[in-house]
Amino acid sequence: MCFMERGYSATSIDDVARRLGATKGRIYHHYPSKADLFADVFRTGMQFSFSSVEPLSKGPERAIERWKKMARAHATGMIRTRAFQRVVWEGVELHLKGATTPEQRDSLGRLIAHRERYARLFRTTIEEARRDGDMQFSLTGIAEELMFSALNSPVFWYSPRAGETDSDIKELVDQIVSFALRGLGGKEGSKNE
Amino acid sequence: MCFMERGYSATSIDDVARRLGATKGRIYHHYPSKADLFADVFRTGMQFSFSSVEPLSKGPERAIERWKKMARAHATGMIRTRAFQRVVWEGVELHLKGATTPEQRDSLGRLIAHRERYARLFRTTIEEARRDGDMQFSLTGIAEELMFSALNSPVFWYSPRAGETDSDIKELVDQIVSFALRGLGGKEGSKNE
DNA sequence: TGATGAACATACTACCGGGTATGTTGTCAA
DNA sequence: TTGACAACATACCCGGTAGTATGTTCATCA
């Protein structure tokens, strides 16, 4: 499950197999094609985010408070499972560019749809927060993109330091979420915890 | 000059040639290898940004005002030359992952160094703005990453609408820069134009 | 205990794509 | 007019890789 660092086409099945201490035969015994293997990693990566964020989106608090929790969970997940998230990212890219085969197309299609539902969790929340007067931005679509670009960004630039503690990561996440929150015109007021 | 949409390894020289209405021979007549072709596109893309932003970084105004102009120029460039910017992005990614051949490595290396100098223009400016009390953020490195993630993001999600005017793009850029500025803890005060 | 099938490994095929070697055409200078 | 060279096109080579076909081992169950 680890061809998450070279990219889809740059990674051969043999690479993956070697990494697993196995051979190609094993992989093709479990997955019908390379695309299916990729889709499985994609799905797994998304599942991390979904299962940690979705419950938070249904809390009883004010929208902005829910958003803060969701954003923290999302960003933390991006850091903790960044290898998977790179695959997810590339999957989205592949879909936008137009995946090669038709089967691959709709396999990716369903995953993208799932991702869409995930994004909607955030979109409805920030729209609600805006109605509450707790955020201000003009076009929702753009605000959403900018928000995700910030929350997702550690996938690309974060790399673990030696002897890094959980509170180090917490600090990172703080700064990320704070950036996004202020970007969305959020009142940072009250307290951040 | 147009293999900027499929990605490096997903694009064959024949693809590029077909796009140009030419053949492989023509391309290999002008470039010694695929990597060199890629490097040239990379360089061209960066040049757009550099030449439009670098002069602005030397203006006489207050740091935050310089930053606003730089950020606007950068974001506008990302939108206007996004095909090139995708190549630049992938070039950086390739470098981080470890380019295949050694020659490719240091070819990319010099380009990355150039890009580093470009990023420094922004870094020094936001640090100066912070000293001026016009911005507030904790870790500069992270702030820089978050800032670029927002300013660069249209490269990935923007796609031109039919009948789009310059002022539409200006509005887009406004929202992007505003997001980044607030994210950096900037006083949006005065006016934005 | 022998048959069966899952869970692999090994060997092989087919194809694609980077790179090269060799044509072909036009231009320009002597 | 011809030789030389730039600017391509065409034909080919060859390594790498997705996918397949065929072993081989081991557990389970009749």
| CATH code for position A95 | 1.10.357.10
- Helices and strands per DSSP (H, E), number in chain B: 9, 0
- The answer to the question of residue A22 being in a domain is no
- The answer to the question of residue B64 being in a domain is yes
- The answer to the question of residue A21 being in a domain is no
A192 confidence band (pLDDT: 50, 70, 90) = very low
- The answer to the question of residue A190 being in a domain is no
Using CB atoms, which residue from A157, A183, A185 is nearest to B145?
Answer: A157
Whole-number pLDDT of residue A9: 76
User: What are A146's two structure tokens?
Assistant: 């900018």
B2: contact with A, CB 8 A cutoff:
no
B92 to chain A: closest CA residue: A156
Averaged pLDDT for residues A71-76:
98
- The answer to the question of residue B28 being in a domain is no
Q: Which nucleotide is nearest to B24 (CA to C1')?
A: D9
pLDDT digits (tens, 9 = 90+) for B47-63: 999 999 999 999 999 99
Total domains, chain A: 1
A6: contact with B, CB 8 A cutoff:
yes
> Which stretches of chain B drop beneath a pLDDT of 50?
190-193
> Dihedrals φ, ψ of A60, to 5°?
-90, -5
Domain enclosing residue B161, as ranges: 41-183
- The answer to the question of residue A160 being in a domain is yes
Whole-number pLDDT of residue A6: 66
- The answer to the question of residue B22 being in a domain is no
The answer to whether A172 contacts B142, with C-beta atoms less than 8 Å apart, is yes
Greatest mean pLDDT range, A6-20, A21-35, B112-126 = B112-126
Averaged pLDDT for residues A66-71:
98
Residue B188 carries which side chain, given as an amino acid letter?
E
Whole-number pLDDT of residue B4: 58
Distance C4 C1' – A29 CA (angstroms): 18
Q: Which residues contact A16 (CB under 8 A, 6 or more apart)?
A: A2, A3, A27, A37
- The answer to the question of residue A111 being in a domain is yes
pLDDT digits (tens, 9 = 90+) for A134-184: 999 999 999 999 999 999 999 999 999 999 999 999 999 999 999 999 999
The answer to whether B9 contacts A9, with C-beta atoms less than 8 Å apart, is yes
Q: Distance between CA atoms of A73 and A42, rounded to whole angstroms?
A: 19
